[in-house]
Structure 1
């Protein structure tokens, strides 16, 4: 297995977000496939067109599910490898700085150094950021081993 690098760590949030987005789309497709047939505007039900719509919705769901399964699995394996490498670090502060910086961000955005410093030390001045960056660099050296 290749070592966990800064670049691999930085991809974690994107992989997580991609899996979430694809699962949400799959859930929407599944919901469309399970909805009862729609009625036409005049109140009459046209079984043929509704049945066709339902069949297309089920087909779309099954196709998308098959299409994304390998991608979701690959993303999950990469995320698990990163999580395992972080968890294997001996120093809990090193684990925490990597988790905060690379794994806990939202909206595909890494937490800033000031945000990480605040989360860990409840300080965000230049000295706290410097300490966080040094701890981060040490963690990167240790995780690559």
Structure 2
């Protein structure tokens, strides 16, 4: 797998996680509606659960593979930088709500090195580049 393919696979993680969360929240809403107002035509939530089951299962499988690869990185700093950049949701500084955007390099530098300046950002980026190169060597070519 190339470095670009490895990076693309990592970038999919937050989208997969978001899709699972949204679909499961919708399922919970439908289940609540079914309890409050049963439909004579059948359960809306059961139909939706059958529809989303393969999607949620596939997303969770892909997420688990990505998480396992990150956990297998031998360097703890590389693991942490990669986890922060690709596996964590950032938070909106004004509202505190989670966002699907990547955590900024400034924030990663501050968390990992205590320095959100250029030096911390560059160090974090170097660790990330090494981590992605490593993942590209361990992931199979058909890794998606």
- Give the unaligned 5+ runs of structure 1: 38-52
Structure 1 residue 54, shift from structure 2 partner: 2.5
- Give the Cα separation in 2 of the matches to 1:82 and 1:32: 35
Q: State yes or no: 1:71 paired with 2:62.
A: no
Larger gyration radius, structure 1 or structure 2: 1
Flag structure 2 segments of 5+ consecutive residues without an equivalent.
Answer: 90-97, 138-144
* Distance across 2 between alignment mates of 1:138 and 1:114: 19
Say whether residues 1:55 and 2:40 are aligned partners. yes
Q: Distance in 1 between matches of 2:112 and 2:119?
A: 13
Aligned residues: 127
TM-score for the superposition, normalised by structure 1: 0.82
1:1-145 pair list within 5 angstroms = 5-35=6-36, 37=37, 54-56=39-41, 58-105=42-89, 106-145=98-137
In angstroms, what is the RMSD of aligned CA positions?
1.6
